[in-house]
A and B are shown apart, each in its own frame.
Chain A
């Protein structure tokens, strides 16, 4: 048992429901007690979803406990099948069904006989995986189910590829942190690069279209937490390469675009090699029906298209694009050179969030803005190694934990000038008077903005620059306040997370403290007290304050 007030990642079934309800015309049925359909509220409220969330519960009550679900689950499935006519129904186990150990697979098999929809039992264990892992697994499960079901022969995979380079985007889904905006931004960049989007999965995708996945040249996985399992499966099974870099920040976006070039060029060459035998086999009959001359023409046209694309995929064009976007379209590169950003140099920050956003943010702050990240952390414990590797050399220490109090203590210990974290860190920041920019789930309704706010791509770099800039106290204001002794004459408020108080501030010291600008006053107060305590000083005088400042400076 664990005493817990707050959690970063939700229970497994939430992940499954997020994936299932992101697909179009897919219905999820939870095997759960009354009140566990809270997911519907989240989707309807946070996402301001206009449609009814396609999730219902097959209620587990006293009777089910005594006699088992019996016909109930099967009836609920068949009823939903008739009412909504979905393509797929995902039966979702919860913590309750994990313990009841009813044979849900058996219900699925029985229901399948009477339904038009496909029925799947989500392969998640409440006690083993969290929301993100479950989402990742469910996506892979649904994709593999439909690909294995399809009658299309993928033995010669290249015969099915799209004419022009194309990509699938894996892992855009409901209740994701700025996913909709990120997806639009990725779409924009790919369009600029002449790459078509084959499918966006799962958001808005029909499961009946999943058979088209292998037609894309490669897969893009923008977020580490979901989509990676599916991408790996597709690589293994259909030889599809994938790009798992997150295009967040200028450097990473450039590297992501270069990978797109590399992967496209690679597939293009493979296609070129595979082209001739393809004509002999797959299109043989169609070709035979054509007259001799026509046949040549079609073949050369097709080859022409392929060759055109290969020549279109010029490295120089990609590099030009990166340069143009970096220096002139995105404002972030210029921002980092501008005087304002100079004032951010060396300021202390703490970063905490999911692995994707926390790692990317750490790199942006350090590499692109010159900010000192004292601590970077993630709650994705299952991905700890990757995270450590990513932020290595970018921060002083790494924090991997699911315990929010540990993060809170770290913040009060470090006292950064700004925090970049989740809603939880925002609240810690409020209590300690430290500004916080929210960069990762878990999030509240205000993190589902109506306006266009991507975190990825070039527009994303602008958004992030604004976020960072607005989080720190504005540069010049900072100096002016220090010079003129601050405009804030409110009495000192003690806000402590970790310290106990038995120190006395004498009159002149109190007056001196009041002169210090409001936004740094508490920090100075705490630092002075920390110093006093370490020197066993009971009364704080102006001298002690200066001594503390000197001690800290050295």
Chain B
């Protein structure tokens, strides 16, 4: 590992990596948008994935379902339009949602089912808006599913009507789905700076979607929302504020600063606020200091998390990431570079479309203190004495803003704390030494 690199290096591998299917976004989006219903139009494979990935949620009368395609649908013996109309009518009668979101899958792509064409007609028939998002595994990974849904939803936001406000001339809309409390926390942080958030995409209810249009500023809270950002800029004529993402106190501060800068406001107390948070994290920081991390990459949060962990004093060997939008993540990448320089650590290599099997070779060679990876690899790595943290937890935990910085470190340090408890027992390697043929 060379410590002389001064800029970030980008590589691209084979794309043979493990991640969740993007249809998994229904699990958090149906909870966020409380008057919605998500209909995943796919096969048993999709249903089986959702059922297993979402576990307990299935049993709680969820507001999502599968439109399971059968052989007749594939061979076009059944009429898609009539079938979907029938199901949507049933959903409308049983659940009465304000919006039905159709999630297109690999199968609807391959058989070229014209979801976008059918939606308006069925929408008219049942008197409910139908949004179409193609969150399929042919094109996207995991969290990008939310990106496709929000990009489609951006079209449904009402037109912004200019009004006089006390705070600022232009409205600010934040995009990205966050639990309501976290959205509230971020809104308050900006309010403290005198910036009013005029709305979120998505809101807790579909009917409350914010107005969009030229003159509206938008800013993302997740690193994986590049399509939504593009749609907001190109189709809704909004102005995008390119900022690092509010993950970790450093990211949150940079995010607020960037927004303040756009609205020509000098941030108050921000430095102190950040310092207080770091002070509060002291006990965790001593645990992570100088420990090394390897991100295998599966949810696109990797750059922001790596940047935060480097600021915490960790060494990042590799940042695997499914897809790297250098434009949308530009500010975040800059902050990462700056952080590396300030913390005097080597620039990590950024590996787009990683190859899990190559990565495992590198992990064996580097022996990092922590590997952040999907569930498919966690247990096998643990059995080989390599400490892991399950990456999907970062997607479901509250990690945004100043308030939740502690939660990120709670997750990151959990395996390290576990190691401290078990370290003297002498059984960290739990496989027989048979496989040196790799």
Interface, chain A (partner B; CB < 8 A): 1-7, 10-11, 13-14, 32-38, 40-42, 44-45, 48-53, 56-57, 59-62, 65, 76, 83-85, 94-96, 98-100, 126-128, 130, 424, 427, 430, 444
Contacts and interface: CB of A to CB of B under 8 A. Distances in A.
A51 B44 CA distance: 27
B22 interface: yes
Given A2-B68, A41-B376, A99 B111 contact: yes
A60 B106 contact: yes
A4 to B, nearest CB: 5
Contact of A51 (B18, B106, B383): B383
B180 interface: no
A4 B65 contact: yes
Given A49-B379, A83-B357, A10 B111 contact: no
B58 interface: yes
B83 interface: yes
A40 B18 contact: yes
B3 interface: no
Contact of B136 (A33, A42, A85): A33
Interface of B: 15-16, 18-23, 41, 43-45, 47-49, 51-53, 55, 58-59, 62, 65-71, 73-74, 78, 83-84, 86-87, 90-91, 106-107, 109-111, 136-142, 357, 360, 374-380, 383, 430-431, 437-438
A3 B55 CA distance: 19
A3 B67 contact: yes
A49 B47 CA distance: 24
Contact of A1 (B52, B68, B141): B68
Contacts of B22: 35
B137 A35 contact: yes
Contact of B110 (A57, A99, A424): A99
B322 to A, nearest CB: 8
Contact of B51 (A6, A52, A430): A6
Contacts of B136: 33
Contact of B137 (A33, A53, A83, A444): A33
Contact of A41 (B83, B375, B383): B375
B16 A127 contact: no
A51 to B, nearest CB: 6
B100 to A, nearest CB: 12
11 contacts: A1-B67, A2-B70, A5-B58, A35-B20, A51-B431, A60-B138, A61-B15, A84-B437, A84-B438, A424-B59, A427-B59
A37 B379 contact: no
A218 B104 CA distance: 50
Contacts of B106: 33, 60, 95-96
Nearest to B430: A50
Looking at chain A's contact residues, the main secondary structure is: mixed
B45 A95 contact: yes
Contacts of B78: 1
Nearest to B86: A1
A41 B78 CA distance: 35
B304 to A, nearest CB: 22
Contacts of B110: 65, 96, 99-100
A65 B138 contact: yes
A7 B44 contact: yes
B31 to A, nearest CB: 16
Given A4-B65, A33-B138, A56 B16 contact: yes
A44 B138 contact: no
B39 to A, nearest CB: 8
Nearest to A53: B376
Given A35-B20, A65-B109, 5 more contacts: A38-B21, A60-B138, A126-B43, A424-B59, A444-B55
B52 A4 contact: no
Contacts of B65: 3-5
Contacts of B111: 99
A4 B43 contact: no
B389 to A, nearest CB: 15
Contact of B107 (A13, A84, A95): A95
Nearest to A5: B65
A41 B48 contact: no
Contacts of B23: 35
Contacts of B48: 7, 10-11, 14, 38
Contact of A57 (B16, B20, B44, B91): B16
B30 to A, nearest CB: 12
Contacts of A6: 47, 51, 58
Contacts of B47: 4, 6-7
A445 to B, nearest CB: 9
B416 to A, nearest CB: 21
A430 B19 CA distance: 32
Contact of B21 (A35, A60, A61, A430): A35
A264 to B, nearest CB: 36
Contact of B52 (A33, A38, A52, A94): A38
Contacts of B90: 3
A13 B43 CA distance: 12
Nearest to A80: B357
A98 B73 CA distance: 13
Contacts of A76: 16
A52 B346 CA distance: 31
Given A61-B15, A83-B357, A127-B74, A35 B141 contact: yes
Given A37-B376, A65-B109, A126 B62 contact: no
A51 B18 CA distance: 16
Nearest to A423: B59
B138 A52 contact: no
A34 B70 contact: no
A65 B110 CA distance: 7
B48 to A, nearest CB: 5
B67 A2 contact: yes
B319 to A, nearest CB: 19
Contacts of B59: 424, 427, 430
Nearest to A128: B71
Contacts of A44: 375-380
Contacts of B67: 1-3
Nearest to B361: A83
Nearest to A72: B14
Smallest CB-CB A-B distances: 6 pairs: A35-B21, A33-B137, A40-B376, A50-B383, A427-B59, A1-B83
Residue of B15, B45, B137, B430 with most partner-chain A CB within 10 A: B45
A430 B61 CA distance: 13
A146 B6 CA distance: 56
B377 A1 contact: no
Contacts of A1: 41, 67-70, 73, 78, 83-84, 86-87
B380 A51 contact: yes
A50 B68 contact: no
Contacts of B140: 34
A126 B438 CA distance: 33
Nearest to A56: B16
Residue of A14, A41, A126, A430 with most partner-chain B CB within 10 A: A41
B43 A11 contact: yes
Nearest to A424: B59
A94 B214 CA distance: 45
Contacts of B52: 38, 41-42
A45 B289 CA distance: 30
A61 B78 CA distance: 27
Contacts of A38: 20-21, 48-49, 52-53
Given A4-B65, A95-B107, A99-B74, A83 B53 contact: no
B1 to A, nearest CB: 24
Contacts of B437: 84-85
B427 to A, nearest CB: 12
B106 to A, nearest CB: 5
Contacts of B378: 44
A42 B45 CA distance: 14
A225 to B, nearest CB: 17
Contacts of A48: 379
A59 B71 CA distance: 23
A442 to B, nearest CB: 8
